[in-house]
Amino acid sequence: MGKTSIERYNFNLDESLIAQFPADKRGESRLLVVNRASATFNDMKFKDIVSLIDSDSFLVVNNTKVLKARLFGKKKSGGRIEVLLLEQLDNKKFRAMIGGKWKREDEIYIDEFKIAATGRDAEGLVIVDFLENDPFMVMEQKGHIPLPPYIKRSDTEIDQERYNTVYSKNYGSVAAPTAGLHFTNEILKALKEKGVEILEITLNVGLGTFRPIKTEFIEDHQMHSENFTIDSDVATRINKLKNEGKKLIAVGTTVVRALESAASDDGVVREAKNQSTNLFIKEGYRFKIVDKLITNFHLPKSTLFILVTAFGGYDLIMNAYKHAMKNRYRFFSYGDAMFVE
């Protein structure tokens, strides 16, 4: 069987459609409803999603919280340096990317806090040691929200709130699970009042989620790994609801990857404790557990866009994106949403 060219997943996006700020209010963003059965589109407001979901379905959300993982500091020599923390290794050490020249054992000063770059790991990432300092205190006091590179501005106070979901609680991500950004407490309450259960899992989103595929063929792409946790009571509840015939709505591609990684071939979700997944979902994949998907509009040539085409069907999703661009939907992290049902 032949390989698949990455150009199959390319499209030309007007840069003015890339959202630089969140919508004025959560829930006021737009929602493109994509019906797979009828191959039709419906333009709505996200808050109206309540009218589309009944007690015959349930939601699974990702409750990860974005770290203030971008730190700006100086070396002893005075040279400026930027540290982007990617993954916690232990109480003091993180894998990181460093912008600026540095040498092994260089001391880095984040104002009054001293940290050290102690070497590289097998993937070429830097190991940063916080020495006597609590990493989370340093991040809380000095850190910045690591906005994705296509948001062409510095982070502000508003991003600390709006680049996290209202149900975020478990620190560990360097990027937001963006489909969840549209939900308000009022929307969640209205769904619960309709008898819609909302279950939480955690997948810590890494920088790799934004990485475009650089290989000519998608089969040659080295998929990034991310860690996820599904508590045993949540796994049990998901399996019970599915056995009752209820439809599982995944809020975001991170939830899809976690659930599909944790599901057996016959669709039973197993407990997972900080389990790693490098699952690359592409056309031809047989979905084991997810029935419907809420997601944002993704980058061309990205693994996320490829996942959505696998779920919704290539032609339908390509047409949905054309519809969205023609009708000036907002794209990427702070953009609008799509409900593939």
Cα dihedral angle (150, 155, 160, 165), rounded to 10 degrees?
-10
pLDDT for 227: 94
Predicted local confidence at residue 1, as pLDDT = 64
* Residue whose entry in the numeric block shows the structure tokens 């700020």: 21
Q: Where are the domains of the chain?
A: 6-66+158-340, 70-143
Name the E strands within the chain: 30-35, 40-45, 57-62, 64-66, 70-75, 80-88, 93-99, 106-110, 113-120, 126-129, 170-173, 198-203, 226-230, 247-251, 272-277, 292-296, 337-340
Question: In this model, does residue 211 exceed pLDDT 80?
Answer: no
What pLDDT is recorded for position 67?
95
Q: Which residues contact 162 (CB under 8 A, 6 or more apart)?
A: 22, 26, 181, 334
**pLDDT at residue 96, rounded to an integer:** 93
pLDDT surpassing 70 at residue 105: no
**pLDDT score for 2:** 84
Place of tokens 């308000």: 184
* Residue 103: pLDDT band with limits 50, 70, 90: confident
Note the helical H segments in 163-205. 185-193
Does residue 314 register a pLDDT over 70? yes
Q: How many CB atoms lie within 10 A of CB 229?
A: 21
Q: Please give the distance of CA 331 from its chain centroid, rounded to a whole number.
A: 14
- pLDDT of residue 210 exceeding 70: no
pLDDT given at position 257: 97
Beta-carbon neighbour count of residue 282 at 10 Å?
16
pTM over 0.85: yes
In this structure, whether the domain defined by 6-66+158-340 belongs to CATH 3.30.1330.40 is answered with no
Q: Locate tokens 């810590």: which residue?
A: 204
Give the per-residue pLDDT at 9.
97
For 281, the token pair is 């979902």
CATH number of the 70-143 domain? 2.40.10.240
Greater model confidence, 323 or 222: 323
> What is the distance between the alpha carbons of residues 110 and 142, in angstroms, rounded to a whole number?
7
Q: What is the pLDDT of residues 124-163, one digit of tens each?
A: 889 999 999 999 999 999 999 999 999 999 999 999 999 9
Cα atoms in the 13 Å half-sphere on the side-chain side of 190: 13
> The tokens of 217 are what?
């063929």
Predicted confidence at residue 224, as pLDDT, reads: 85
**pLDDT at residue 20 in the model:** 98
Work out the mean pLDDT of the chain and round it to a whole number: 95
The beta-strand segments (E) located in 130-245 are 170-173, 198-203, 226-230
Cβ-contact 192, 34 below 8 angstroms:
no
Report the relative pairing of strands 170-173 and 64-66 from DSSP bridges.
parallel
| pLDDT tens column, 219-257 | 999 898 899 999 999 999 999 999 999 999 999 999 999
Lowest model confidence (mean pLDDT) among 33-47, 118-132, 294-308: 118-132
Q: Over the stretch 255-302, which tens digit does the pLDDT of each residue have? A: 999 999 999 999 999 999 999 999 999 999 999 999 999 999 999 999
Q: Read off the pLDDT band of 207 (50, 70, 90).
A: confident
